[in-house]
A and B are shown apart, each in its own frame.
Chain A
Amino acid sequence: MASNSYDVVIVGAGACGGLVAAELARRGFSVCVLEAGRRFDPATDLSNSEANGGKIIWSEPRVYAGRDAVVPKTGVGVGGGTLAWLGVMPRFHHADFRTHSTEGVGVDWPISYEDLRPYYHKVETEFGVAGECGPFAPESYELPMPPHPMNWHAQLLAKGARALGAHPFAPPIAINSVPYDGRPACIYCGWCGSGCTTGAKATASQTCLAKAERAGAVVISQAFVNRVNYDAATGRVTGVNVIDVDQRERPVSARCVVLSAHAIETPRLLLMSACGAYPQGLANSSGQVGRNLMSHPTWQVFGTFDQPVNAFKGMQMGHVMVQDYYAPNPRNAYRRGFVLISYMMTPITFANLSGSFYGPEFKQFLTDYSYTAAWWAHAEGLPDEDNRVTLDPEVNDARGLPAARLTYSWTGNDVALAAAARDKACEMMSASGARKVRVGLNYGAHAMGTCRMGRDPATSVVNDLGQSHDVPNLFVCDTSVFVTSAGVNPTLTAMALASRTADHVAELARTGEW
């Protein structure tokens, strides 16, 4: 470790942590990024193999409880979730920030689409996004790269969507359609989820973290942060404690701490950092740390065709999207909306997302792999304060620290909305000409909430700029701060929020507030 004291320590080297590191290092701050996982060389460590995909998924113990025991996938390693992600980057819509005002569900955000507009554009440009904004976008906007051609799989899906009067389009996706920012265009190898070997898929490690390191930031891998240190005399955090690869614990001091460990590990860290002043967990005077955990209720819908589809040729997700059913509609029997996204997987994931059938039927399904197309029906999950991350009283990780316990039950609206999304995907699959349509797994995608933003310190953890209400030099920059989940993929919005927070951190430094 070159130094033990920095202006800013960032916990987590994913999309948001990497972005904040780049933005602050570029401005001349000394920045240290601490990442629990390894640093990978994608070309050698993440060659096309589903086993390699397992290296970049969080595999430490977690406990899943509640009626529905939702298990959102999370990443690990320098690059965080972007190592394994599939890159879909749509913007939230105006109404996504006002779910309570518009439909009487959830809670309104303390910010609007307009607050994020410049940050959306900045992230899309700097990270590299290809695609169309689509006919239902919150406004017409240009992306820095042209859309990817639809693969044959997407063309079949789009045919069915159009037959039902929908408007399929090639959505924003952070995979290069042309060479961009020193990275090559995608070769459509079909292995995005195992880690991109070419660099065409935008990962934090190959974009913002690389830029941060060139600007002087220090990125330390296999450095697990087990505590944020708080000084009761000043009311401020003083840095963090790190357990390194040799299991040695040491402090790293900083004038400012940014948590970007994602919506499960960020609240876990705050809860593990309980102290005399904050016995329920650091920055948790509200009792809201860990609460309102959200996920997206999704269904996998498969269709088997008479002719080969070969859906494995292309990007795994997002060659086509349908947003026709996203806008709130008072005539619906549910609130909020959903999208449909093309999603095809390598064979093991294909099997795992197919459901729980077995025997000859399962074997036939596997045999039909290259003849099968798939929609991912992706809906909004509403916040519920009883859905939460806590510290498990019994299960510890290998370091002896309490594992995160996720307690989750879908709300009635989640179930109804996801069912509508599933049924629409089935209808479209039939309209595409599938001879057999199969509903696969129902699962929770993405983790959000748990340190939500708001104006009232009694009901939220951070303010509208990601700054802790309780501790002024502590910030949260990841999907933890989401107030509602919207019905689209969350990373772009998380990064836009993080970019906004980075501006705020820099401004506070300029005015001498930390």
Chain B
Amino acid sequence: MIEVDELVKHYRATDGSVVRAVDGVSLAVRPGEMVGLLGANGAGKTTTLRVLATLLRPTSGTARVAGCDVRTDPIGVRRNLGYVSATTGVPDRLTPREILLSFGRLHGLERDGLKARVERLVDVLDLGSCADRPTGRLSSGQRQRVSVGRALVHDPPALVLDEPTNALDVVGSRDLLAFLSTLRADGRSILLSTHRLHEIEHRCDRFVIVHGGRIVAEGTRRDLVGEAGELEDAFFLAVQAAAGTAP
């Protein structure tokens, strides 16, 4: 379960001014649910996800993962959350198997159980053919699958993904999103941000549209789009209305 309540995050810019990156966002992702967080660049998506991942501290409001508060129990949050970013950040010189083992050890997992877990991930993520090749020689899709494996190595009940399909081609994106659907079916809570609305239009259970650090629309695809039309149209309408430029 992921819960965000009246989350506010301000930064101090280099010129001394205060940037309100997130300004009162509230959302919840239940177990077995996949929610899409949509917004233009600078809307506050990444900041929201990074507060959930304990990379940034909230200015006010609360954010919880599996009941653990990011402010009072960041270690609990980290135990229960898998985080995937657009930049895979996988070390070029290590192999997928070595990366999964190393990050499993960062979670303090026991050696034998960890090995079995890594082999299972290599199998599930279809990394068998490249598991012992340095990741610098892998394709973007394979690197992103390693990144997803790294986020799943401790078997977290919640997943946060920040533009995970950015560097992927159509096939890679489709495979990744299909895999995320299986994780949702396992009962995990999944919150993902993306700019590629058409990819997740029929995959997510609900959508949250943010603009200027605030939620401007939310609901199921049907709530936002109606019977006809596309999510992209609903997104533009919501953002333009919030910006005061609605047609």
Q: Do A and B bind each other?
A: no
Q: Which residues of A contact B (CB under 8 A)?
A: none
